[in-house]
Amino acid sequence: MLQAFANIFKIPDLRRRVFFTLGMLAIYRVGFVIPLVGVDQLQLKEAAEKASEGSSGFGRILEYASIFSGGSLQQSTIFGLGIMPYITASIIFQLLTTVYKPLQDLKKDGVSGQTKINEYTRYAAVGLCFLQGLMWLSYLRSQGLVQANFLTGGGMVVFYAAGIAGLTAGSLFLMWLGEQIDKYGIGNGISLILTAGILARMPDAISWVVDNFQWSIQTEPGKLSPIGLILLIGGFVFVVAGAVIITVAQRRIPIQQAKHTRGRRVYGGQRQYLPLRLNHAGVMPIVFASSLMIFPSSIFAWLQARAVAGNWPDWMQSTTSFLAANVQMGQFPYIFLEIVLIFFFSYFWTTVQFSPDEMSKQLKQHGSFIPGYRPGPRTAEYLETVMERITYVGAGFLAAIAIIPTVVSYSMGIPPNVSQFLGGTGLLIVVSVGLDLIQRIEANLLMRNYSGFLADGPNDPKAPRIRSRQG
């Protein structure tokens, strides 16, 4: 392992790419100390801390948004929106490409069509930056988190104009940073920026563990005992290992090439494999489920407040109180509904991204077939059955990883900023990006006859390698 890291710096081109990537990520973190004009940072931080301690809708929004912005909404800096608008626009166009024929035709054009779709995505990201920035600034103003001289007259105009311009410019600058990493660095730029924002919160989590650890078995409420620390570390190792397995796990379908004769030579006949990922939907089901679960808790809490303030009938007040108390983080109905949504979006995203009919047509066009199944509808039916089964297993793994932070937080009294590293969207993003980065670095090392991260030596032909997603 140490030799592999040393080999990275022996290759000038790879060394330059690694240092360029680290420099871009350092610039990304510098933007977090530049605040927006007119925002009272101290009051905003206090409000965010109070909201994150509970299970309010605002706390859930901050928790979800911090995954894509590094937690900067609590400071309201120019990077407050992060790359969330660009990611949202990318998801929208990815879904539209599967249902909107003009975009489907553009995608079939190859590189030129994909370039045009990327251009549309950037325009949509600008619009989302404006909309999300306006909503965020309006919320700050409604909660009294804006300085007094920016509440009326020309000050309010300056607050909105400077705030929206700063948030939009910061988000677009991060998008540009990601593209520069793609071009001159190593790894996927947008994914690395996401990972950097998630890992930036780890020092705070470690600091909480150190400050609240007690050597005594009988600890005070809210403190961490040695047994609790062992369980916490063990759970972290177990969940990371499970996340790695679910990221790289595949179902390999044997593919046989048909033999054909040209003159006196016989071509084809080789057997290959079609790798179907266990978690084909990636992290998207958790993202969709987590974002949608913000609304039920907020709506039922609002209905409860209206029922009490409006003197609604007793049965309506009791019903709204019951729903508000049970559809909250840590409660069984909330966890059950989140699991159902994860399963639903796992199948939905897999259906959108994977077409058995299209895959069957491609196999038939290339003269390949699955042994025991006729090319055409029978092959498509078999692929659909396999994907349904492995998606069920993958969705189960995703559901387990998604609910572990909530269960640990409420059962052990650990804050959400610590338990979030035991599962959920952030952990899956970090694991998948880390594996992709290691694979790219190892490919560069092997291309230049250097040993990779899992090799015993440069001349070891049987040394294990990290498998790519294609096997």
pLDDT of residue 450: 65
pLDDT confidence of residue 470: 43
Quick check: is 53 in a domain? yes
- Which of 39-53, 168-182, 308-322, 389-403 comes out lowest in average pLDDT? 39-53
Q: Which of 181-190, 405-414, 456-465 has the lowest mean pLDDT?
A: 456-465
Pairing of strands 271-277, 250-257: antiparallel
Residues 6+ apart with CB under 8 A from 317: 304, 307, 308
Q: Which of 303-317, 389-403, 411-425 has the lowest mean pLDDT?
A: 411-425
CA 51 to chain centre: 23
At 469 the pLDDT is: 44
Q: What one-character-per-residue DSSP string does 84-101 give?
A: HHHHHHHHHHHHHHHH-H
Q: Is the pLDDT of residue 307 over 50?
A: yes
Q: Report the CATH number at residue 129.
A: 1.10.3370.10
Q: Is residue 402, in this structure, part of any structural domain at all?
A: no
Q: Look up tokens 């605002």; give the residue.
A: 58
Q: Which amino acid appears at position 468 of this protein?
A: S
Is the pLDDT reported for residue 302 higher than 50?
yes
| Phi then psi dihedrals of residue 376, to 5 deg | 110, -140
In a domain, 455, yes or no: no
pLDDT the model gives residue 382: 92
Domain assignment of residue 29, yes or no: yes
For the stretch 55-77, pLDDT in tens is 455 555 555 566 555 545 555 67
In a domain, 225, yes or no: no
pLDDT 10s digits, 329-355: 778 888 888 899 899 989 988 888 888
pLDDT band of residue 452 (cuts 50, 70, 90) is: low
pTM, 2 dp: 0.78
Confidence check: pLDDT of 471 > 50? no
Higher pLDDT: 45 or 36? It is 36
Assigned domain for 72 exists: yes
Contact between residue 58 and residue 52 where contact means Cβ atoms under 8 Å apart: no
pLDDT mean over 144-150:
78
The domain tally of the chain equals: 1
Distance of alpha carbon 406 from alpha carbon 419, whole angstroms: 7
Residue 151 maps to a domain? yes
* pLDDT at position 461: 47
pLDDT computed for residue 266 by the predictor: 67
The lowest-confidence range among 19-23, 382-386, 435-439 is 435-439
Kindly report the average pLDDT of the chain as a whole number: 80
Please tell me the predicted confidence (pLDDT) of residue 390: 92
Q: Look at residue 376 and tell me whether its pLDDT is greater than 60.
A: yes
- Would the pLDDT of 462 be above 50? no
**pLDDT at res. 468:** 45
Q: How far apart are CA 261 and CA 372, in angstroms?
A: 23
Note whether 253 and 273 are within 8 A (CB): yes
- Domain assignment present for residue 185? The answer is yes
Range of the domain at 166: 1-200
- pLDDT of 136 reads 81
Instruction: Reply yes or no on whether the pLDDT at 457 is more than 50.
Output: no
Q: Is the model's pLDDT at 244 over the cut of 80?
A: yes
Q: Is pLDDT at 20 greater than 90 in this prediction?
A: yes
Q: What is the mean pLDDT of residues 84-98?
A: 84
Alpha helical stretches, state H, 144-201: 153-184, 189-199
Helix intervals (H) in 71-152: 84-99, 101-108, 111-142
Q: For residue 246, how many other CB atoms are within 10 A of its CB?
A: 22
Asked whether the predicted pLDDT for residue 401 surpasses 60, the reply is yes
Looking at residue 329, what is its pLDDT? Answer: 73
End-to-end CA distance of the chain: 22
Q: What is the pLDDT of residue 155?
A: 81
